[in-house]
């Protein structure tokens, strides 16, 4: 089951159909989110309720991944001593709580 597609990501990001490059990037983002969910689920089959929650969360994660190309190295912060700090995030920021709540800590 597909939880998110590139077309859904483009629409949610307000891009519409997008250019060929935008479509390609959205497809990569969707594939990455799908692969991460599949890895976390393993052999578990998602119930209809879990699949609905994951679809909503996957769309959010897909859009976050899509817009991350504008900040490819994460958020940059410079501390008081001028030391740069980069913050990264898991691609499943929105899906992780759904997986944890439904599957337990061994899966998420």
CB-CB neighbours of 99 under 10 Å: 23
Q: For the whole model, what pTM was predicted?
A: 0.81
Tens digit of pLDDT for each residue in 69-84? Answer: 776 566 666 667 766 6
Task: Write down the pLDDT at residue 71.
Answer: 66
CB-CB neighbours of 13 under 10 Å: 18
Domain ranges of the chain: 6-103
d(CA 104, CA 70): 34
* Type and span of the H or E element at 48: helix 48-67
Distances (CA, A) of 13 to 6, 57, 59: 10, 14, 10
């Amino acid at each position: 089951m597909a939880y998110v597609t590139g077309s859904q990501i483009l629409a949610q990001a307000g891009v519409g159909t997008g250019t060929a490059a935008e479509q390609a990037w959205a497809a990569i983002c969707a594939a990455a989110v799908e692969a991460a969910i599949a890895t976390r689920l393993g052999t578990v089959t998602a119930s209809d309720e879990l699949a609905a929650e994951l679809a909503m969360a996957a769309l959010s994660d897909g859009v976050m991944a899509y817009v991350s190309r504008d900040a490819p190295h994460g958020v940059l912060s410079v501390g008081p001593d001028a030391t740069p700090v980069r913050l990264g995030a898991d691609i499943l920021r929105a899906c992780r709580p759904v997986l944890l709540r439904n599957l337990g800590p061994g899966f998420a």
